[in-house]
Amino acid sequence: MNEARNDERERTLFDEMAEARAVQAEGNLGRARTCARRAVGMAMREKVGIGPSARDYASTFINGLYRLAEDRAYPEAVRIAAARLVDRSKPDRSSATVNPVQDAEIILKYFEALAQ
């Protein structure tokens, strides 16, 4: 089991987005949402800090997305996309995000532009 965890830790943002695209195309929105959230979390870890330090924006990827969804320092489109990605699935497995890849891309493009 540790080997699987190590493999997952070595995945990149690009791996996560590639899997998100593939599983979304197959209709598996739940898995696509999971991969999309991890990809965004990886970008946020690099750009704003995700980790245990008090200086970090958030302690986990999911907490970072929740905070991003509420943080008025970011553009509305970014906040709305983050809110859709962290929306909990309803009993019928539906979610506010019908296109997790697109929601992730909105956020990723924003953070990518910060680097330029």
The pLDDT, as a whole number, for residue 88 is 73
Which has more pLDDT, 36 or 52?
Answer: 36
The pLDDT, as a whole number, for residue 55 is 86
Whether 37 and 62 have beta carbons less than 8 Å apart is answered as yes
pLDDT > 90 in the chain, percent? 68
Backbone phi, psi, residue 34, to 5°: -60, -50
50 forms beta bridges with 58
Please state the pTM of the whole predicted model. Answer: 0.85
Domain range enclosing 67: 2-115
Q: Smallest Cα–Cα separation from 57: which of 12, 87, 70? A: 70
Separation of alpha carbons 41 and 43, rounded Å: 5
Question: What residues have CB less than 8 Å from 24, skipping those under 6 apart?
Answer: 32, 99, 100, 101
pLDDT > 70? residue 43: yes
pLDDT > 80? residue 4: no
Kindly report, residue by residue over 47-92, the tens digit of the pLDDT.
999 988 888 899 999 999 999 999 999 999 999 999 999 987 666 6
Q: Smallest Cα–Cα separation from 82: which of 116, 37, 21, 23? A: 37
Total domains in the chain come to 1
